[in-house]
């Protein structure tokens, strides 16, 4: 039995993401705590990282524009 099998969610279609994230509610509706398969988990994580990077990039660009205005 794999680690994922032991972490099967009561809803029966998802597994908990190991390790459980303590700050997030442990409901089977909460997308972040689940994976139905490895690829889905990877896609979710890449999406989140992509969003974070996009925000960071926008902030960096905003700062660059401010710096150019001050010169």
Residue with tokens 């509610």: 25
Tell me the residue range of the domain where 46 lies.
Answer: 37-71
Contact 13, 36 (CB under 8 A): yes
Q: Which residue has the higher pLDDT, 56 or 8?
A: 56
Q: Show contacts of 14-23: CB within 8 Å, 24+ apart.
A: 17/41
Q: What is the pLDDT of residues 13-37, one digit of tens each?
A: 555 555 545 544 554 444 444 445 5
Number of CB atoms found within 10 A of residue 60's CB: 10
Give yes or no: residues 69 and 41 share one domain.
Answer: yes
Q: What pLDDT sits at residue 48? A: 74
Asked whether residue 40 carries a pLDDT value surpassing 60, the answer given is: yes
Give yes or no: residues 57 and 69 share one domain.
Answer: yes
Phi, psi of 48 (to 5 degrees): -65, -45
Q: What pLDDT sits at residue 27? A: 46
pTM for the model: 0.26
Domain count, the chain: 2
Averaged over 49-60, what is the pLDDT?
Answer: 70
């Amino acid at each position: 039995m794999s680690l994922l099998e032991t972490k099967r969610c009561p809803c029966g279609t998802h597994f908990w993401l190991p390790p459980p994230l303590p700050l997030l509610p442990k409901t089977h509706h909460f997308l972040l705590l689940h994976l139905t398969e490895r690829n889905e988990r990877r896609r979710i994580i890449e999406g989140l990282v992509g969003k974070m990077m996009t925000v960071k990039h926008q902030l960096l660009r905003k700062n660059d524009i401010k710096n150019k205005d001050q010169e």
